[in-house]
Amino acid sequence: MSKFKSIFSFLYNNEVRAFLFQLVILLVVVYFSYAAIDNLFINIESRGIQTGFGFLEAEAGFDIAEHLIDYSSASNNLQVFYVGLINTLVVSAIGIVFASIIGLIIGIARLSNNWLIAKLASGYIELFRNIPILLQILFWYNIVLATFPHPKRSFEFFDAIFINIRGIYMPKPIVEDGFIWLVVALVVGIVLKILVKRHFNKKHEKTGIETNTLVYSFGLIVALPTAVYFMLGAPIYLDYPALKGFNFKGGMSLSPEFLSLTFALSVYTATYIAEAIRAGIESVSKGQKEAAMAMGLTKKQSLKLVVLPQALRVAIPPIINQYLNLAKNSSLAAAIGYSELVSVFAGTVLNQVGQAVEIILMTMAVYLAISLVISLILNIVNHKMSIKGR
């Protein structure tokens, strides 16, 4: 008996038992995963369903209303994937920008000393936060945009922008040879502007003398590209939309589907960002705010230079989650027919070829990659803004 106990004495070691427990759980998970995948392929084979990614080279056979790259019904399914991916990225990026701006404004307004402004901000948050995002998308698409006029009675701005029930029509930039040098001039101007700003910031830290860099910024970001533009003979011009018959021709347009989706995502996500901003501002100690006022800073300067930099350190982690939610919520565009990834690839293509495993895995991988990239970028920003210990 004592010999039996000595053989299994290692089981009395907590670390060994913890390791064995994790090993058993891992083996169970691997076994069930293997069994599920094996059963999946058996069922696919028994039903005669094709596997592999050869379907990506097959002709799509359907049109897509909105595409930023060349596409026609003769294009293959891989091109459909690219079109849906780009549309998803565009909606997500624009939605994040507008949601951030709206959220910042509403979050600050929520703490305003003006009773009316504070109550309006609170009402905005309570209204849009508590209505499901899908219903909001349908509301903007089916009710609000339906009140816009027909093309012949469009809202007109500067003889260049037209708003009607079919969307927003605006001038389209047409690039010609030499445009790349205009882009290079703009990039160089931005880089030089950053270097100039850093130089004068270091000078300010050493001498206490503050230099206004607005003139430098204007010269590098505006004047330099403008000079290159005229030197190259205007390598970019605008194609203006014009009413011909019952619709506009020329220019570029933003569809009602795109507008309603982007607006709904921005307005909805902004409510959560506003609450994160409000919480971040309230986390800044009262002493910091009083010290800023004692130094002679105005309320605007105090908010910009003292309160917000500290508030954002608290607000960024929950804001990351809202950016991820916005990107994933863009898949609801299928409800109104916007041509994003889920609608055209995991919807139309899947119905045509029937290879659900490959298509769903590709779609899931895209959303996973988008979420990981957003998290990585904002975690880097959060790390840069964190207070460094001495």
Answer positive or negative: Cα dihedral of 149, 132, 89, 280: positive
Q: Which pLDDT band, with edges at 50, 70 and 90, does 48 fall under?
A: low
230 burial (CB, 10 Å; 0-12 / 13-18 / 19+) is: exposed
Distances (CA, A) of 256 to 86, 87, 141, 239, 336: 18, 14, 7, 21, 9
> Distance (Å, rounded) from C-alpha 213 to C-alpha 219?
10
pLDDT in tens, 184-241: 888 888 888 888 888 877 877 777 677 777 777 888 788 888 887 788 777 777 777 8
Q: Are 229 and 175 in contact (CB under 8 A)?
A: no
- Share the mean pLDDT of the chain: 81
> Distance (Å, rounded) from C-alpha 368 to C-alpha 356?
18
Of 311 and 31, the structure prediction assigns the larger pLDDT to 31
pTM of the model: 0.78
Is residue 133's pLDDT more than 80? Answer: yes
Alpha helices in the chain (DSSP H): 2-7, 14-46, 77-109, 115-129, 133-139, 179-207, 214-218, 224-231, 256-283, 286-294, 299-302, 308-329, 341-343, 350-353, 356-385
pLDDT value of position 390: 47
